[in-house]
Structure 1
Amino acid sequence: MSYPGLPKRQLFKAVVLSSLLFLVSCSDKPQQKGMGGDMKVPVSVITVQPTPTEIFVELPGRVEAIKDAEIRARVTGIVTGIHFEQGSDVKEGQLLFTIDPAPYEARRNQAAAQLKVAEADVRSARLFAQRNSKLVKSNAVSRQEYDNAVARALQAEANVAAAQAALQSAEIDLGYTKVVSPISGRIGKSIVTEGALVSATSSTLMASVQQLDQVYVDITRSTTQLAQLRKAMDAGVLTRSNDGDALARVVLEDGSVYPQDGKLLFSGVSVDPSTGQVSLRAQFKNPDQILLPGMYVRVRLQQGMDEKALLVPPQAIQRTADGLSSLMLVKDGKVTPVAVRVGPESKGKSIIYKGLNPGDVVVVEGFQKIRPGAPVQAMPWNGEQKAAAQPAPAQG
């Protein structure tokens, strides 16, 4: 390329400018090619395969104490002492309250004195009857007098028995002045104070003790769900678990899973006509007393084993505008959305009941850059390996 008639400096500038324009035109060509629609977006995928999986159903439940004892007054009197810390753990037989024992001690002493009088009377009556038994043989006394003496002796013995019963009753009432805990557990607030008058007639409530080392969870389940479970069993979709007791897990209000598994105690045999539901009860160990009576929880109840469950990570499930669920599949290198029906979760994955087939390739990560029909480059998802490499979160 020549530039006749130009000075050397201008000629040099023209050559440099031409070179720059050439380089810019060359660098624009690959960019324009990269902007084309044939570019494949990398996405993370999994290939779905049937997996034997335990199936659970999630139901509402309420926590109930295994033992719930109401401490009530059994004698009438003034409370003279409270011997526990409110909200603390108490043992069976531990002294909780003291009711003024003075009037009951006096009654006990009076009953003991009456017993001694009765015992003295019975001794005298027995000796009199024995003497008359000898005199009646020699006709010194009449048979009637002898019979009267024997009857008085028997009556005196009955008086002794009545006096013993009165003394025992007085001692029981005196014992009730020391109010003890009938069970081991956690005691609530004291409903009465020192100096308060409690009544045996109205059974004044003084406190409550609840056993919390184990708790019940009462569950309700609709008859429709029971019918669906029965159909799944009959169709062979679900098989019964090998365990003798049905497994139950509690989901707390914050969404965390309670660490102790429980077992189903019974399933109701009658339906509540007002709600159309059946009552169930599960039992859980509660060593840390995390579950408290009256707490609302969700219970995951074991249903059986699905030998061919299709599982996907929850983040693979997309929600449509109409509230339905869908998955992004990779078919022939392109994205294809499919509508699915999602079941319960098992071991951190969601069970897909409808819309997914064994061998399907499901997109798990990379949704931001894809659309239906877009070409993609599928790469194996390594989210499970990353999760396993991370330290386990601290509990509670």
Structure 2
Amino acid sequence: MRYLTQKVTRGAVVKAVTTSGTVNPVITVQVGTYVSGVIQARYCDYNTKVTKGQVCAKVDPRPYQVIVDQSRATLGVGQAQMVKDQADLAYAKVAYERNRRLVATKSVSQDVLDSSKAALDRAMAQIGLDQATIALQQAQLHAAEINLGYTDIVSPVDGTVVSRSVEMGQTVAASFQTPTLFLVATDLTSMQVDTNVSESDIGSVNGGDRATFTVESFPNRTFSGRVTEVRQSPQTIQNVVTYDAVVGVRNQDQALKPGMTATTRIIVDERQDVLRVPDQALRYQPGGVPGVTGAPPPVDLNGGVRVWVFRGGEPQMVVIMPGLDDDSFTEVIKGDLQDGDEVIVGGATPKPSP
């Protein structure tokens, strides 16, 4: 009987969750339009560096300029009407004061005085109405000026245009939903990977965990980052519930582009410089070992498991206390094993000679 063996070694045992994700900018701002109309000019394109307040496109302002002019003219009419009504009020005051003095000398009747008092009251009320009308017209003019200002599509942040969905001459309608004209990434030197971690693994992923990933564009380069957030919102993909674990990464050379697919490895636990055995050694079950008599002990001995060590030309059973398992190696917390021991991972019976 011959055996397949591997050596017990010292090294790292790293437990990780492997998943896929998408590289995205940390903050992406959607730049839309509040007003409808025809795009008269476009000043920004893909990869354009923009600053806060920079005009990226312009909607034809003429319809909105007409509304501003109309509102301004209406306000002028209201203000002129108020000047006229103020003159009427001044006359009504004079007439009332004159009739009030004349009625004392019985030069005019009381009815004339009452009529002049009513005219004064109406003139004063008209002034109040004019003031309210002017306030309304000023508000309408202000709203029209705001809409005119919205014909300039400006970037709300400093950043880089990563997407554009508008051309000159295109008509945009903002009646029910604000259309997105540009996507602006604020800082492409800081990126994040939105990974899809299955519900069976998400319990072991925590903020601050180290992570590495590769992208197809750079297969020989490994990027490093850390989990910055584990989002609570579930996503169902092909009947599998996943959660978004966000991995933050620096992108100083801007090698990472938005939308790249990343194969991500999130390190959830690790042990450095520990005694470890291959996982195959824990799964090996002897099928009649020479020199071993009696039934084998149970697999679990107070939390321990058995492995078979090849010593002195014969297999010997050793009970170990396992620790962290990374699907390749298992940490040995306690047990009669030493660095360099040969553990049996398989057995093969040689073919009989012909």
Give the TM-score band, short-chain normalised: 0.5 to 0.7
**Residue 282 in structure 1 maps to residue 247 in structure 2:** yes
Between 1 and 2, higher relative CO (CA 8 Å, sep ≥ 6) is seen in: 2
Equivalent position of 1:368 in the other structure: none
Alignment partners' CA distance in 2, 1:181 and 1:219: 29
Give deviations 1:217-258, integer Å, cap 9, x for gaps.
Answer: 33333343356x49xxxxxxxxxxxxx951332311345565
What code does the residue aligned with 1:48 have? T
1:355–1:266 Cα change, 3 Å: closer
- Residues 1:253 and 2:253 aligned together: no
Question: Which of structures 1 and 2 has the bigger CA Rg?
Answer: 1
Identity of matched residues, %: 21
Q: Is the 8 A contact 2:78 2:130 kept in 1?
A: yes
Describe the shift of the 1:250–1:306 C-alpha distance in structure 2 as closer, same or farther (beyond 3 A): closer
Aligned position for 2:72: 112
8 Å Cα contact 1:249-1:258 kept in structure 2 = no
**What is the alpha-carbon distance in structure 2 between the residues aligned to residue 50 and residue 216 of structure 1?**
31
Using a 3 Å threshold, how does the CA distance of structure 1 residues 257 and 279 change in structure 2: closer, same or farther?
same
CA offset at residue 342 of structure 1? 9.8
Contact 1:248/1:264, CA 8 A, preserved across alignment: no
Give 1:253's aligned amino acid: V
> What is the alpha-carbon distance in structure 1 between the residues aligned to residue 236 and residue 130 of structure 2?
61
1:134-171 CA distance string (max 9 Å, x none)? 65566445443233222211111112112212221222
Task: Tell whether the 8 Å contact from 1:61 to 1:299 is kept in structure 2 after alignment.
Answer: yes
Q: Corresponding residue for 1:155?
A: 129
How far apart in 1 are the matches of 2:234 and 2:144? 48
Preserved CA contact (<8 Å) 2:57 2:154: yes
The structure richer in helix per residue is 1
Q: What is the one-letter code of the residue matched to 1:283?
A: G
1:174 paired to 2:135: no
Contact 1:251 1:297 in 2 (8 A): yes
- Is 1:214–2:178 an aligned residue pair? no
The structure-2 alpha-carbon separation of the partners of 1:260 and 1:161, relative to structure 1 and needing over 3 Å to count, comes to farther
- Assess, with a 3 A threshold, how the Cα gap between structure 1 residues 54 and 153 changes in structure 2: closer, same or farther: farther
Judging changes above 3 Å, is the alpha-carbon distance between structure 1 residues 245 and 226 closer, same or farther for their aligned structure 2 residues? closer
TM-score normalised according to structure 2 size: 0.63
Letter in 2 for 1:361: G
* 1:295 corresponding residue in structure 2: 260
Match of 1:352 in 2: 330
1:166 to 1:271, Cα distance in 2 relative to 1, 3 A: closer
Q: How does 1:3-82 map to 2 (within 5 A)?
A: 48-49=9-10, 55-82=15-42
> For residues 311 and 127 of structure 1, what CA distance do their matches in structure 2 show?
102
Out of 169, 184, 191, the residue aligned to residue 158 of structure 2 is: 184
Q: Secondary structure at the match of 2:255?
A: coil
Deviates more, 1:351-360 or 1:210-219: 351-360
CA–CA distance in 2 between the matches of 1:271 and 1:103? 45
SS in 2 for 1:289: coil
Report the RMSD for the aligned CA atoms in angstroms.
Answer: 4.6
Amino acid corresponding to residue 69 of structure 2 in structure 1: N
Structure with the higher strand share, 1 or 2:
2
CA contact (8 A) 2:96 2:117 kept: yes
- Deviation of 1:49 after TM superposition, in Å, equals 4.0
How far the C-alpha of 1:193 sits from its partner, in A, is 2.7
| Alignment partners' CA distance in 2, 1:75 and 1:117 | 28
Cα distance in 2 for partners of 1:299, 1:356 equals: 33
For structure 1, the residue ranges without an aligned partner over 5 or more in a row are 1-44, 231-243, 321-328, 364-370, 373-396
DSSP-derived class of the 1:361 partner: coil
* Aligned residue type for 1:360: D
How far, CA to CA, are the matches of 1:81 and 1:131 in structure 2?
Answer: 56
Match of 1:103 in 2: 63
Matched residue SS, 2:52: coil
Which amino acid counterpart does residue 123 of structure 2 have in structure 1?
A
Q: 1:271 to 1:81 in 2, by over 3 A?
A: closer
Gapped regions of structure 2 (runs ≥ 5): 1-5, 101-112, 285-308, 349-354
